[in-house]
Structure 1
């Protein structure tokens, strides 16, 4: 086996001479020298005491497979060698500091503890250095470049600007300590005033300081030229613990520089193409390289499979670090050119999901597979059916919280799986594996959670309206009015009314509210701040109720300051949003303990109380009563018109801002009961049969996705069954189709207390206002 490294001790003077000549240089991926004045003084003190300062690691150049653009160490002005014999992988900060202070011959450009720029020279206080009771770090003095130490009044306290002044002050300049000739001349000047008296001092100083510098040897590990690039990069990161972790972007920048290609300049130009989008403010260059590598490795795999009968040995699709480091410049140029314009389409897609800024991205890392997928799909990525599948995959990743850990493997799966799914294959693993536990809502309290930010976006996507202005929250409203997530029941109110902080701070008790409205809410009870909004903004209670419903808030519970009823209703609505977005059922506990206010033994009573409260309030823009769902009470027969009336109400609520439909209640509030419909249900003449009929009708007419966004519950009042159907605001236009007959799909909305059909331009204008893109 070839030996990959050697180790020995090198004289400090030889190491610094190598740097001075250019025989030792830095790979271009090394970050700049950053040590401050205190670090330099402490390092010099350690060398003067022969203390270990750690090993340096170098790489012998000459391997054509390991090409990095070199650069001189800081302070090396004119090297005699253009091409280095060695590259310094570890020990840059120490080596550069020693070179600047001891070998460069110039003042050291450094910084103070507050990061203010300064230039310094370093001296050894001879008397302090030979005093065994003095701290050596205090004996190494950092002096301004002009040699003048001034007090706060600007008066000179110490002058070391000339050789004579240095000798008089007995301050030895360390920038000559490795130059025996210069040191000897300084010694002669030092001894001249009184050779007899000063010789002992100089001898002690030479033994204590000068000899340790001249004799100091630096442990050196040399990687041989046979070391592969991946190992070089890995070794560099393992040993470079003193700085920020090196990125693959910096490594590739150095690699491509050897081919006269400036990766950083190329990235800056590409970033300028999408720099206007605040959503991509924090999209890093390393993520872009992962996108490019995914596409390049997918293309390489596809070409291999096309050329071979079996794909068992085909190269993998991947964007792991080693694969990014292997990215050829030609592959980068090809796929970067393909991916760059797609980023603006990614932004449009996310804006459609009501994600407007980098701060609101549930997972910034999900931009990598999303961009790669949309690049691979090309123009197909914008067709309606494909967008629907992209949405499902995206939200399964968010609400399944799939991107919180190591993600490179999932990125590769996503690219292959989603494209194959769109081409008719199986569901992607991200969709299959996604799960959301209902009780997770109780722990979503801050933006640290992707699911928290996801629900925030879902609320805006469903047409959440500004409390104060009533305008649908779009990009302009979001920015101009400083929209953010705030409490619905204020925290102070919750604390005063015995609501635990954990419950009050959950996402269930929060929604999108602009800054001005939030100040108006303050700590008041909902009943008080709603009245305040109505008074100050001239908003009618009916209109404010529709605004509240657009946020999936039960207006009656809120106006009654009934936290438990409010919380239970909204808890269910948020779960419905997740189910509709992911296309998957939420996992719930069997005993109803997910929601602290809806235990199983109280569920029936809660529903009954809620229905009585709705009946007492009467019909409105957000509430409608239907005596039956299928039976015409006048004729006593099943009537498709009655079924279609229920369908219209549900669709109208969806396309407006949500609402509640009670079936089994007459217009005047009298209880009729859905039992009137039971005779038309075949063998299942009960509530289960009625529930199945309604679910099937909604799915057939409105689509399965829309049907999942409807919540149904039942209660017995006056010995008759009333169905409560809670309808959420839809995330996109919903069209209703009669289950029988020749009726075409129609677009229905809620206008005041009735449901109306909109046609042509009127429907188009309404949809643009209701769902701004």
Structure 2
């Protein structure tokens, strides 16, 4: 029997050239090109990360078949002869590659302008792949970039269209980039951006390595295809096409895994159908893939499609050691092991969903209030890891995972492509759980961002920051203004404090939709009591019926301060008053984020929260005492303490660009990295004691009070369980320090 199928492959360079020559045409019965700019970007990312992008199904054509099927060129290609293959499967991928590598003069479907694709060389070489691949719409500013190689070098923007024009242009661009950074001025007079000579040298080396990598990818990356014989009849070819595209959707990684597992006796789709009722609370169509990602993260930290294939029972995974040695390992030995890992991952996801939607844990009481569905795989993997810890370490692990979660929410960390982010976070949080000093850089980014967070712009109810604030209101125990109880998710209105009807008449744009003017109330209170009235109308009625003290307490649970209440109740409330109220609530909520999330006081009782604030105040005052009495001379700090604190500062400086490593010897830079014991060792140091003895007359008393203060602090910050003796002794130490420090 004649073999009508010929599996083969070609390099990326060959494919790019064939696309340019117009060798591929699309039959009339194919759907139109419909990928978004983001879809094209993700395909490009897969190629340059050496991921498999699927096989093409091609039919070696002839004139009568081209005519019979009304074949046309690839979208954007000015077809003028040269047709060789009819594309049966792979049109979207081929068209995406043509558009990215050849930049045809045509806008994408349903877009106003052309899109141009780039690789950011700096981000790529730092392996920050989520940010390395970019596209920009046509504009005057972009045209200036396209016209100026120097501007491209300076901004690290490598146009993918360079690959489409040929190997010489690629070599020329890489040489130009490298030379640009080799000759980059490093004097402050000539270098407006103050880029150091060392950094410019790094960019130059990166340029050479980037060029080598791109050449290897374009020469060696292989696209597989199946070529149907030219002599096949049209009827048979159409039948093949119909079978391939019968569902009208792209084959995703779950479908591929299902196909690969069937010969091993595993019915993956049926396994997911069996557990779907337990996980379908989340509003996503990717939960089946999330289960596989949890399995992959638990086994190997990574969860991109490339790594999911190593979950196949008996599949060899190549490993390259730091010393260059290579070997292979099998992650999943048998089908029974696969099923067991699947069951454990499903259980972790179920527990994670229950935790996230609990009103006293994370406050995502409804699917629409879950900041991200895409955070679930790494969250579940971390939750699973915490269950493997010794019992006494789980509480601290949970505390750290909560801190990471809120940092991810308020930095929009999981709003885009997340596989590499999840892998990085899983490793970072595990290291932090094991070592207090291995604090993830994300937490510093979170703290810095909170200082400049503008919540007035948060009007998108599905954004992570908007839903994060709403979760925080639930966790704070925001009570209904009439019933005085916390609303249930099925009886919840996202209420405008200053009503929409008034706002439309008096305020610009859609500013009244900000989260700062929203809060959760029951539908009855919102629609039947408040209605479209201003707060200066409905709040006095509530004060009179429920009592002013009670109402102020309820409003405080919504982060509405006394100052905000006074603004809302002004008789002639107008646009300026609205702005003043928004500013006051911004301050209240950001203070709450700082207090409850950054300082991790969310789970504390009111009394312990107050004590934690008192301890923080004492620590700050003691640090100030050290700076004052040592005359801001860091060289006077005991050498052992100084070495520890400098190491902490240097670690923090690597993660936080706002910290200058050159300041590692300045007292003002080191003080924030002193812990209680560092302060104690400094004050009681044999050489320095005479400097501080006038404030603390007895060294033994000082040591005792430090021990009591540290016991209370550690109990609050770590175990979250403080017995009465520790609490009372800690309170006494706070009072003692207050008395001493206020002299």
**Shared fold (TM-score greater than 0.5)?**
no
* TM-score w.r.t. length of structure 1: 0.43
Would you tell me which structure has more strand in proportion to its own residues? 1
Would you tell me which structure has more helix in proportion to its own residues? 2
* TM-score w.r.t. length of structure 2: 0.45
Instruction: State the structure with more CA Rg.
Output: 1
